[in-house]
Amino acid sequence: MKTIDELLAEGVSGKRVFVRADLNVPLDGTAITDDGRIRAVQPTIAKLAEAGARVVVASHLGRPKGAPDPAFSLAPAAARLGELLGADVAFATDTVGASAKATVAALADGQVAVLENLRFNAGETSKDDAERGAFADALAELADVYVGDGFGAVHRKHASVFDLPARLPHAAGFLIATEVGVLKKLTADVKRPYVVVLGGAKVSDKLAVIDQLLGKADRILIGGGMAYTFLKAKGYEVGISLLQEDQIPVVTEYMERAEKSGVELVLPVDILASGDFPDLKTKAPADFVTVDADKIPADKEGLDIGPKTRELYESKIADAETVFWNGPVGVFEHPDYAGGTRAIARALLNCDGFTVVGGGDSAAAVRTLGFDENAFGHISTGGGASLEYLEGKTLPGLAALED
């Protein structure tokens, strides 16, 4: 895989360099609520511009239906990128049409442009190779060189991620190089004890990674909505908590495998439970009770791990040499149910080992709760991509960058 340093050494001045970034930031209307992904790719874009490249930045945002939708415009992200670069950033109002062609043609050496949301074109995400390839052909006409730096999308077989690199000389940006380096530390020559914290809503989203980690991790700590399927598998009452009953057999099997292989699979011992889901807009005070994990009332829903579980999980993380955390362990968006997720983040900060926050909602939680991002070993920009890498899958966007 060619690095951006090698690309820069060859010279990019005057060349049109297509950067597949991940500018898929959360928006409240047109206001960006977390610009972490833009800041993560900014060093690659800045270095290329500094070297005299004519930088064409492209990304997706959200899940539009293959057609323009103002709610998913990348205009706010382009404006924020300009602020971070301290320079004007041109914005094309389409992907490969008249605006894109004119905007790219107008670039001078060292200037940057952002194309509109790639998913406004159905060819970007098409499962039909020919349709996807036709869109990649059109994108290739806008550039001389391809740089892949959208780690959050490398697990997608999309035109700009998988097909376009085959049509242009290509290299990996700084962000992808960093992300892959970190993930190798979690899969090869891992320093132990190796502790994994898994949260989030659906246990089905994490089964494949648990399957892999049962042979690699020393401890797996379970929280979030997915925990209730594990608790139900132990025969506990979980009330109206999130539950995937169809996953109980495989969860039971994993608990048995963990015990046989000597992996600590740690479940919550107490829960904050309520009969009402919290109001996440007004953050009105929540009405909850703290109960033992095997005594959740039939009419209540578990919404966060309790104080005893927080202490237990902190103790399980304290001596770790490597920690990977993916998924909040409670409804962190509400202050009354943020305590568990805050405790996990604090435990990572207090740990002397190498700590990785695995993107997605975990990264959002760290920022929302006010933690210093630089205090963690690494905060990933791609939750889904990180998980699939740990599952041992081949990621299309990384495979496409290999020579």
Where is pLDDT greater, at 381 or 268?
268
Task: Please confirm, yes or no, whether 123 is among the known catalytic residues.
Answer: no
187-215 pLDDT, tens per residue? 988 999 999 999 999 999 999 999 999 98
pLDDT at 364: 87
132 close to 159: Cβ distance less than 8 angstroms: yes
Structure tokens at 16: 């049109």
Residue type, 214: L
Across 140-155, average pLDDT: 97
pLDDT at 101: 98
Closest CA to 174 of 403, 388, 381, 318: 381
15-42 pLDDT, tens per residue? 999 999 999 999 999 999 989 899 999 9
Task: Please confirm, yes or no, whether 66 is among the known catalytic residues.
Answer: no
Name the residue with tokens 């205090």.
375
Which residue among 39, 101, 185, 202 is the active-site one?
A: 202
Across 375-389, average pLDDT: 91
Across 131-137, average pLDDT: 98
Mean pLDDT of the chain: 96
371 close to 341: Cβ distance less than 8 angstroms: no
Across 147-152, average pLDDT: 97
By the 10 Å C-beta count (0-12 exposed, 13-18 middle, 19+ buried), 311 is classed as middle
Dihedral angle of Cα 384, 385, 391, 394, to the nearest 10 degrees: 140
By the 10 Å C-beta count (0-12 exposed, 13-18 middle, 19+ buried), 255 is classed as middle
Which residue among 15, 37, 54, 132 is the active-site one?
A: 37
Task: Please confirm, yes or no, whether 235 is among the known catalytic residues.
Answer: no
Q: Cα 170 to chain center, whole Å?
A: 23
228-260 pLDDT, tens per residue? 999 999 999 999 999 999 999 999 999 999 999
Largest CA distance in the chain: 67
308-323 pLDDT, tens per residue? 999 999 999 999 999 9
183 close to 378: Cβ distance less than 8 angstroms: no
Rounded Cα–Cα distance for residues 25 and 246 (Å)? 33
Q: What is the DSSP string of 59-74?
A: ---S---SS--GGG-S
| pLDDT higher than 90, residue 329 | yes
399 close to 385: Cβ distance less than 8 angstroms: no
| pLDDT higher than 80, residue 359 | no
Name the residue with tokens 């997706």.
60
Which residue among 327, 360, 382, 397 is the active-site one?
A: 360
Cross-sheet strand order for the sheet of 16-20: 89-91, 112-114, 54-58, 16-20, 145-148, 170-172
Structure tokens at 103: 């905007």
| pLDDT higher than 90, residue 403 | no
CA quadruple 237, 243, 248, 254: dihedral sign: negative
Supply the DSSP symbol for 376.
S
Q: What percent of the chain is modeled with pLDDT above 90?
A: 93
C-alpha pair distances (Å), 217 with each of 97, 222, 299, 320, 397:
49, 13, 36, 11, 26
Task: Please confirm, yes or no, whether 37 is among the known catalytic residues.
Answer: yes
Cross-sheet strand order for the sheet of 354-357: 264-266, 219-222, 194-198, 322-326, 354-357, 378-379
**What b/e readout covers 373-382, taking b as 16+ CB neighbours within 10 angstroms?**
eeebbbbbbb
With vertex at residue 261, the alpha carbon angle to CA 258 and CA 263, rounded to the nearest 5 degrees, is 55
Dihedral angle of Cα 255, 258, 263, 269, to the nearest 10 degrees: 10
400 close to 157: Cβ distance less than 8 angstroms: no
| HSE-CB of 291 using CA atoms within 13 angstroms | 19
Across 30-57, average pLDDT: 96
pTM over 0.85: yes
Supply the DSSP symbol for 3.
B
| pLDDT higher than 90, residue 14 | yes
Contacts of 386 (CB under 8 A, 6+ apart): 179, 183, 326, 358, 359, 380
80-114 pLDDT, tens per residue? 999 999 999 999 999 999 999 999 999 999 999 99
Structure tokens at 205: 């989203």
| pLDDT higher than 90, residue 347 | yes
Q: What is the DSSP string of 149-218?
A: --GGGTTS--IIIIIGGGGS-EEE-HHHHHHHHHHHHHHSS--SSEEEEE-SS-GGGTHHHHHHHTTT-S
